[in-house]
């Protein structure tokens, strides 16, 4: 099996800090892969490397067998990698549906002016298909019935799901979810778990960062563990849970 996403010695330095240090990591097509580790370990930075927010200082990143290191974020998104952010990034004044349409149009570019400029002509041209796609993405996170509500009026858990719908609107092969369950209550987490499983069943590979161990262990096929920018373990949930280095760095705390 060839990896859908491959990090090969991926490294990034911010001044003197090596935030991600020589990480080798594969995400196979069709799996739910998780990345865990203490705060500041470099998890979000790995997502930022994959999505082109920062180019790696050293090492390679390939997706579907082609190098994507150093490409612009909208090019990487357009190639089929969707993402959500650790902190919610919605256009609060727009409707739920508009937030998803912007996802479909901008393919991950977060410049509002640019987004709105790009929005107008294509919406007229392809209105039917895009609306259908946006509603389909909303229904994947059970929000289609809220399409015309203002995004800021949704409860917190639904705002997080709306971000997932927006990421799905680029029709990704791979979706990166940065702490999707953060701040959710147990019931919201359970709903999210089912949705993530359904997203995978629909053919999208999932790579997520998450702190809630019960959530991660119950959902993931494989887990990689990061500590101070270094990958210290990688394996099935039961293997990772039993790994002494992981217990020392993370689980034991």
Residues that bind Mg ion (CB under 5 A): 43-44, 86
- Per partner kind, with CB cut-offs from 5 to 8 A, the member of ligand ADP, Mg ion, none near residue 108 is none
How many binding residues for ligand ADP (CB under 6 A)? Answer: 11
Instruction: Find which of ligand ADP, Mg ion, none residue 59 binds, CB within 5 to 8 Å per kind.
Output: none
Q: Could you tell which of Mg ion, ligand ADP, none binds residue 192, using a CB distance below 5 to 8 A set by kind?
A: none
The encoded tokens of residue 76 equal 């990487």
* CB closer to Mg ion out of 85 and 138: 85
Rounded CA-CA distance 4/174 in Å is 8
39 part of the interface to ligand ADP, by CB under 6 A: yes
Decide whether 12 or 141 has the Cβ nearer to ligand ADP: 12
Q: Which of 8, 22, 28, 40 binds ligand ADP (CB under 6 A)?
A: 40
Q: CA-CA distance, 236 to 240, in Å (whole number)?
A: 6
Residue 59 binds ligand ADP (CB under 6 A): no
Residue 41 interacts with ligand ADP (CB under 6 A): yes or no? yes
- Give the one residue of 14, 122, 198, 244 binding ligand ADP; rule: CB under 6 A: 14
Judged by DSSP in three states, 13 sits in strand
Q: Which residues contact 35 (CB under 8 A, 6 or more apart)?
A: 43, 46, 207, 208, 209, 223, 224, 225, 226
Choose between 42 and 79: whose C-beta lies nearer to ligand ADP. 42
Q: Which stretch binds ligand ADP (CB under 6 A): 11-19, 185-193, 216-224, 234-242?
A: 11-19
CA dihedral 199, 201, 205, 211 (to 10 degrees): 60
Residue 42, contacted partner among Mg ion, ligand ADP, none, CB below 5-8 A by kind: ligand ADP
- Tell me which stretch binds ligand ADP (CB under 6 A): 12-20, 123-131, 168-176, 242-250: 12-20
Q: Between 186-201 and 112-140, two packed helices, what is the crossing angle to 10 degrees? A: 90
What's CA 78's distance to the chain center, in Å? 14
C-alpha to C-alpha distance for 70 and 78, rounded to whole angstroms: 14
Q: Which CB, 63 or 250, lies closer to ligand ADP?
A: 250
Measured from the CB of residue 161, what is the shortest distance to ligand ADP in angstroms?
21
Nearest CA to 83 among 203, 10, 165, 182?
A: 165
State how far the alpha carbon of 8 is from the alpha carbons of 41, 91, 129, 176, in Å: 18, 35, 38, 18
For tokens 């999932």, name the residue.
206
As measured in angstroms, the least distance from the Cβ of 45 to ligand ADP is: 3
The binding site for ligand ADP (CB under 6 A) comprises 14, 17, 19, 37, 39-45
């Amino acid at each position: 099996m060839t990896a859908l996403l491959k990090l090969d010695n991926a490294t990034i330095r911010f001044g003197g800090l090596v935030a991600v240090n020589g990480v080798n990591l594969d995400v196979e097509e069709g799996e739910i892969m998780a990345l865990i580790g203490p705060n500041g370990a470099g998890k979000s930075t790995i997502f930022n490397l994959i999505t082109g927010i920062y180019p790696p200082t050293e090492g390679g990143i390939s997706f579907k067998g082609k190098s994507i290191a150093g490409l612009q974020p909208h090019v990487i998104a357009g190639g089929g990698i969707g993402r959500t952010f650790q902190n919610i990034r919605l256009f609060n004044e727009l409707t739920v549906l508009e937030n998803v349409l912007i996802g479909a149009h901008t393919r991950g570019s977060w410049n509002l002016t640019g987004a709105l400029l790009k929005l107008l002509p294509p919406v007229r041209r392809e209105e039917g298909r895009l609306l259908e796609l946006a509603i389909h993405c909303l229904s994947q996170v059970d929000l289609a019935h809220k399409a015309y509500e203002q995004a800021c009026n949704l409860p917190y858990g639904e705002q997080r799901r709306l971000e997932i719908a927006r990421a799905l609107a680029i029709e990704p092969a791979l979706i990166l979810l940065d702490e999707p369950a953060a701040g959710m209550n147990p019931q919201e987490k359970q709903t999210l778990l089912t949705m993530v499983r359904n997203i995978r069943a629909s053919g999208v590979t999932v790579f997520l960062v998450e702190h809630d161990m019960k959530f991660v262990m119950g959902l993931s096929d494989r887990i990689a563990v990061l500590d101070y920018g270094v990958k210290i373990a990688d394996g099935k949930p039961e293997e990772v849970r039993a790994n002494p280095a992981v217990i020392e760095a993370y689980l034991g705390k």
